[in-house]
Chain A
Amino acid sequence: MPSTIEKNSRVSVEERLFSLVLALIATEVGLTKADILSTVQGYRQRYLPGGDNASLERQFERDKDDIRELGIPLEVVEPPDDPGSNHHLRYRIPKGLYELPVDVTFSPDELMLLKLAATVWREGSLSAESRRAMTKLHALGIDSSDPVLGYSPSLRVREASFEPLSKAMDRGQVVAFLYLKPGEAAARRRQVEPRAMVLHDGRWHLFGTDQDAAATRTYLLSRIVGPVVTVPGASFVAHGDGQGQEALRELEALWTANIAVIAARPGSDAAVRLSKRVAPGEIRTNADASALHLNFTDLNVFADELAGYGPEVLVHSPAALRTAVRSRLITVRDAHTDFDLNAHPDTTTAADE
């Protein structure tokens, strides 16, 4: 092969992907799969003319997905003279859709703000996405000072379900997972059209359409207790922009509407920590935390939290929350009671040190 660069067949993944992107941008009419496999760096070395190239074809399918994941618009063009033909499909990357729009510019101050926004994500997929976005921004060559902030804000996505859920959401795929609803003892399978991922009140939520209930539901990611799988062949049409904001508005509305009145034992963990959460603007008539007004989003989640405080908290209202907390405490007490009456109440004090 009389090529100017003769390399051994070990071409790195990034070299193959880079070569593929360059080749698909450079072509106006598009390249067929056979063109790509036989000529593009990284494929051509493994291409068998007239032979079985099945594994190379699968490689190309994966590479296409990886490239699209990066926001690169890899198009498939049907030949006008032979529509529907799989054989003559052509692939290309239209330059106009690949490049950042020319009229979009960022000032040094904006770049600084974006750097800061990127650092908000501490770990996990959103931090990787932010990092790649910043790499693309750096290509513009804008110099910015380093962000100055008296503190470092950070958000995490610790739930393993975030990644598969957001991928399925972007691709319009229906998902299924086991969900342990707060307040229930056993997990149940849910089949959902994912519409938005929302962080509200420190918790990640999935906002979506439950296909069994045929209704909108919000799920806590921390309560998804099994793997998230896509339902084969089940897809849905995207619900459009603003799903995330709609979900947030619903959660905010719930949070605002739900107000609990609780008493916290002075000096206790509950008093110290819950009193910090009193709604801004709330007039605290009782500095001794005997009647704290607290907003909450979900009754069962809040009841779990309040039950954890044991005797440090007494719920006055609403009645449903009071009942929920009390019944949780009874459940825990009874589950830990040995009915052969071998309890040693005096061990409590010793262990509590």
Chain B
Amino acid sequence: MNGGPALGASDKLTFLLALVPFLMDHDRISVTDVAAHFGVSPDRVRDAVNLIAVSGIPGETRQYLHGDLFDIHWDEFETNDLIVLTHLVAIDDSPRFSAREAAALIAGLQYLSSLPENADVDAIASLMAKLTRSASAAPSQVAVSGTDARSSIAVVQAAVRGGVQIEFDYLNARGENELRRVDPWRIQSVDRDWYLRGWCHLREAARTFRLDRMSDLHVTDVPTNPRSADAVPTETLFEGSASDQDVTVELPTSAVPLLADYAPYGAPGAHGDRVRRTLKVAHYHGLKRLVTGLAGVVEVVDPAEARAVVREWAAAGVARYDESEPTDAGE
């Protein structure tokens, strides 16, 4: 298997059921053409054909006799890597979608329809109706609301297309603001957040930027460096940092899943239904925001320095309310 997710029996069965009608419509087709059409490896096609060719129905005799099985032109297959179905059994059309398969595509379409480039609402609506009719049961109730397509997305996108550099003030996750000049390579959304992957001329390295941390974004007329385009990494959007620090927090056992992103591991010292976990954090700038955003749930216990940072952060926040409303003295 060349990369890709591990395939379960469900995927393999689906492929077999889809391959048969496709092969029926193509009198003789090469293994590589089939592989390209389905986006799978040639070996997977060969395995499937080998299985189809010896499969069939029990038949009148219940003995899987020759006439009850699919058959192929074996010489063509083994010598020329060509598939020629010579005998068919039972099926001749593609299966319907399951309720969940139709729902996954419909929800994907809902999301696409909110993106600036896919304004053809009518085409999408008719496609959704077709999917609904092509499912064996009413599609599962999965719905997706649009993303808010902000103007910065369009600006960056135009720069990617035009192959020109962009410039913006970037407030990084540590709270530092710097002017960046970037060769934009790829713009990507993950859930409701948008990211730009590109070559940062300030750092002279590939970097990922969050669009919502950019200010004063503008397009320059300087073309992007063609050399840097080779450096487009495959899929990685984020990189870990070597300078992470350990921080121990205490929280209710049931709240541990809320910290899953920080890969917490066990730490001793809690009591009752509370537990302690140690997290790797890149900097306290992020930690104090995380903990304050989980008020009453997560408490930092160690190191004392981290506790103090969180306390000062929250206290400074409280102070703003006390200043702004001197008459409201009661807590």
Contact = CB atoms under 8 A, between A and B. Distances in A.
Interface of A: 1-5, 12-15, 17-19, 21-23, 25-26, 38-41, 66-67, 69-73, 95, 97-102, 104, 106, 109-110, 113-114, 116-122, 125-141, 143, 149-156, 166, 169-170, 178, 180, 185-187, 195-202, 207, 222-223, 225-226, 238, 241, 243-245, 247-248, 251-252, 267-269, 272-273, 276-277, 280, 304-305, 307-311, 313-314, 322, 325-326, 328-333, 335-338, 342-345, 347-348, 350-352
11 contacts: A4-B65, A17-B9, A72-B98, A126-B108, A129-B101, A153-B111, A276-B211, A277-B212, A325-B317, A329-B315, A332-B310
Contact of B104 (A98, A126, A140): A126
B311 A114 contact: no
A277 B96 CA distance: 41
A311 B62 CA distance: 78
Nearest to B192: A202
Given A135-B14, A185-B297, 7 more contacts: A14-B16, A152-B186, A152-B189, A198-B144, A225-B254, A269-B171, A328-B292
Contacts of B282: none
- The 9 A-B residue pairs whose C-beta atoms are closest, nearest first, are A71-B98, A202-B192, A308-B293, A244-B143, A117-B108, A328-B295, A139-B94, A139-B18, A196-B141
A336 B55 contact: no
Interface residues of B, number: 139
Nearest to A304: B293
B305 A351 contact: yes
Contact of A118 (B108, B291, B324): B108
Nearest to B176: A353
A138 B15 CA distance: 10
Contacts of A222: 258
A307 B308 contact: no
Contacts of A273: 212-213
Contacts of A117: 105-106, 108-109, 111-112
A300 B316 CA distance: 21
Contact of A4 (B11, B25, B69, B118): B69
Interface in B46-61: 51-52, 54-58
A310 B21 contact: no
Nearest to A198: B143
Given A139-B22, A308-B289, A70 B320 contact: no
Contacts of B177: 267
Contact of A245 (B26, B123, B143, B290): B143
Interface stretch (B77-85, B147-155, B220-228, B262-270): B147-155
Given A185-B252, A329-B295, A22 B57 contact: yes
Contacts of A197: 140-143
Contacts of B63: 1-4
A243 B143 CA distance: 9
A18 B16 CA distance: 7
Given A40-B58, A129-B103, A154-B188, A98 B96 contact: yes
Interface in B279-323: 284-285, 288-297, 299-300, 304-321
Contacts of B39: 134, 138
Contacts of B256: 225
A66 B143 contact: no
In this complex, the member of A13, A116, A310, A338 whose beta carbon has the largest number of chain B beta carbons within 10 angstroms is A310
